[in-house]
Amino acid sequence: ETGVTQSPTHLIKTRGQQVTLRCSSQSGHNTVSWYQQALGQGPQFIFQYYREEENGRGNFPPRFSGLQFPNYSSELNVNALELDDSALYLCASSLDGNEQFFGPGTRLTVL
Amino acid sequence: EDQVTQSPEALRLQEGESSSLNCSYTVSGLRGLFWYRQDPGKGPEFLFTLYSAGEEKEKERLKATLTKKESFLHITAPKPEDSATYLCAVQTFGSGTYKYIFGTGTRLKVLA
């Protein structure tokens, strides 16, 4: 059984650029959630997709958007990057939104 | 406003010294409460889900309990390998949408 994978591992962007982060769900899972985690803080919920439809969203602006594909993999897109967007971005997959299994994360640095 | 608070922020224990971590919450539409363990530089690792007051779950040296306002993670006879940050999260559902709210975690250090 393959766990949750994320790519890339690390990424450096400059302010104003756009970025796409990718996540492959654990086999058999149909729900994916994305989180932003700043150093020393708990993860902050960005949004959740269930069977390709967004069914949950946290307090993040519209420049944070996402997609879930028919194979339940997912993308997180962030437009107009700001310095405060520098963080660890975590993807978690689950079956029907229950126990979430997290990937290793993508470390994004915005200069 | 929905809120999850964990205490203490940090905890140092001697090997074998049992203790409890607290997670208190004020939310509407609670659907479940989750405990995770996170090691530095890694994603959180799922430990437990609790759905209703009075529920308890155990795994090795860990036991999680839930009341209407808080949850406890009891660690019995901890070992150095239990050192990590322990995160609590609640799942809510309201107005047709799900949300997850995490606490800031308890950093546990177990000394040999």
Nearest CA to A48 out of A27, A37, A64, A71 is that of: A64
For residue B43, give the chain A residue with the closest CA. Answer: A104
Interchain pair B97, A55: CB under 8 A: yes
Where does residue B104 rank: exposed (0-12), middle (13-18), buried (19+ CB within 10 A)? middle
pLDDT digits (tens, 9 = 90+) for B31-51: 999 999 999 989 999 999 999
pLDDT recorded at residue B20: 98
Compare CB distances from A101 to B42, B46, B96 and report the shortest one's residue. Answer: B46
For chain B, the average pLDDT equals 95
CA distance B67 to B40: 30
Q: Per-10-residue mean pLDDT for chain B, 112 residues long?
A: 94 98 93 96 94 95 96 98 97 90 97 96
Nearest CA to A29 out of A95, A104, A101, A105 is that of: A95
Q: Residue A87: in which H helix or E strand, if any?
A: strand A87-94
Interchain pair B99, A40: CB under 8 A: no
pLDDT digits (tens, 9 = 90+) for A66-93: 999 998 899 999 999 999 999 999 999 9
Over 70: is that where the pLDDT of A1 sits? no
Interchain pair A56, B100: CB under 8 A: yes
Over 90: is that where the pLDDT of A98 sits? no
B interface residues, A as partner, C-beta within 8 Å:
4, 32, 34, 36, 42-46, 49, 87, 89, 91, 96-105
pLDDT recorded at residue B96: 86
3-state secondary structure chain B: CCEEEEECCEEEEECCCCEEEEEEEECCCEEEEEEEEECCCCCCEEEEEECCCCCEEEECCEEEEECCCEEEEEECCCCHHHCEEEEEEEEEEECCEEEEEECCCEEEEEEC
User: Which tokens go with B84?
Assistant: 């990590």
Chain B residues within 8 A of A96 when measuring between CB atoms: none
